[in-house]
Each structure stands twice: as C-alpha cells, then as structure tokens.
Chain A
Amino acid sequence: QVLLVQSGAEVKAPGASVKVSCQASGYTFTAYYMHWVRQAPGQGLEWMGIINPSGGSTNYGQKFKGRVSMVRDTSTRTYYMELSSLRSDDTAVYYCARRDSGSSSFDYWGQGTLVTVSS
C-alpha cells in the first residue's frame, strides 16, 4: 500500500533552517509528483510547492520563493523540504502529499512533521 513516512518533530531557533523528509513506498516513485503543504496551529492548509520526481523540477508558492527548497533522492525514495530563515510564524505541521496524476488531487498524505520555531 502507499505509505508516506515523514521525519520527526523539530525545534528550531529563529533564523535557522529546517529540513523535513518524506519517504515514499508502495508505488512507482517516479510516476507521481509530490506536494508540500503546511498547517499552522489552529489554522488551515497552505500549499507550499510541488516537485517532479523525474528530473527534480519544482514549483513553489509565491510566498515561499527564495526561502524553500524541495529535492528528492530517487535511490532512497525520499523527498526533502528545506525552509530557511525561520520565523515564529513558520511554526506548523508540514505534510508531504502525493499528487494523483489524473485528477491533480492530493491522494495520499504523510503523517505530518511538527516544526516549532522558538528562541
């Protein structure tokens, strides 16, 4: 079955960077793009960007351009999302979510990774 397993919770100081991983299994890795979505405490979902596992091309939400980097490692079937220059309002649960090829929906989600930005 499709599984997306994310790395554990992180606590970072303001100005630092965080790198969250998402290991995929149960499907052909290169056949499906991967999104990253975040959710601040008590808030809604916010789309951050998408990566093509074949070639690694990316597209980021305007709000995150210049501060986010999404890469993948095909040998380990793992995606990484790095967010830099962290601020307190970056405190959120970060999700990876697979893009369904046909419908462009987010059909499988990771369990989420809580990133807390605090001094």
Chain B
Amino acid sequence: QSTLSQPASVSGSPGQSINISCTGTSRDVGTYKQVSWYQQYPGNAPKLILYEVSLRPSGVSNRLDGSKSGNTASLTISGLQAEDEAEYYCCSYAGSATWVFGGGTRLTVL
C-alpha cells in the first residue's frame, strides 16, 4: 500500500488557525470513516488526537477538528498555541485488515 499524501510542513502564528490535508484514494480515505490523526513530539511515541474523522478522545483540546471530503481528510487546529508545534500524521483503514499512514506534516508555530 502507498502512503497518504500530506504537506511536509505548515506554519502559523499564535491564535491563528491552520489546516493539514491528507489525501488518499477511493481504496482508503474515500471509502472508510476510520481516519485518525496522531500528534508526535520529537523523541516521543505518537498520540491519538482524532478518530473516525472528527471525534476527539477524552482530554484532547476542542481546538482540534477533523473533516473529510471525497479522498481527502483534514485536520484543523484553531487558536494556535506554542504547544501545538509537533509532527502530525493521518492514518486510514485501507480494507482487508490493512492500514496506511500519511507521510507526516511538521507544524511550526511562528
């Protein structure tokens, strides 16, 4: 399976909103609602921040929102804070008990 396509980097100033796209195909993102997002700080394991496109696990900030249209899912972070600076990965179920990740997006808070 190939990798979902994410921008290599995005940036924004504190208080602004940013969007990270995650483009797959009709064999993964376009077909399944099991799209999730992960936040990873350097040297740490990833952390689940959104599941089933737009649902937040307990304890995750409501500044994070997800959506999906066609073969593209998106993560929006509003009211950017310094602590949001991290790497973000999308992931989609791809059928037949397989999963595929995006290449990752580095978020810089200016």
Task: Output the nearest chain B residue to A103 by Cβ-Cβ distance.
Answer: B51
- The reply to whether A46 and B101 contact each other, CB–CB distance below 8 Å, is yes
A61 touches B1 (CB 8 A): yes
Instruction: Report the Cα distance A47→B2, complex, angstroms.
Output: 11
Given A105-B48, A105-B52, A47 and B99 touching (CB < 8 A)? Answer: yes
A106 to B101, CA, bound (A): 11
Contact between chains at A47 and B45 (CB < 8 Å): no
CA distance A105 to B32 in the complex (A): 12
A28: which B residues are within 8 A, CB to CB?
none
Contact segment of B9-17, B67-75, B77-85, B89-97: B89-97
Partner of A62, one of B1, B38, B46, B104: B1
Using an 8 Å CB-CB cutoff, how does the interface string of B50-77 with A read, 1 for contact, 0 for none? 0110010100000000000000000000
Question: Does A111 interact with chain B (Cβ within 8 Å)?
Answer: yes
Minimum CB–CB distance from B106 to chain A (whole Å) comes to 11
**Chain A binding surface SS class:** strand
Q: A59-B97, A61-B98, A106-B38 are in contact. Are A100 and B45 (CB under 8 A)?
A: no
- Which B residue's beta carbon lies closest to that of A60? B98
User: A44-B89, A47-B99 are contacts. A111–B45 as well, Cβ < 8 Å?
Assistant: yes
The answer to whether B46 and A109 have CB atoms under 8 Å apart is yes
**Is A53 interfacial (CB-CB < 8 Å)?**
no
**Can you list 12 A-B contacts with CB-CB less than 8 angstroms, sorted by A residue number?**
A45-B91, A47-B99, A50-B97, A59-B97, A61-B98, A62-B1, A103-B55, A104-B34, A105-B48, A105-B52, A106-B46, A111-B45
Tell me the A residues contacting B by CB distance below 8 Å: 35, 37, 44-47, 50, 59, 61-62, 95, 97, 100, 103-107, 109-112
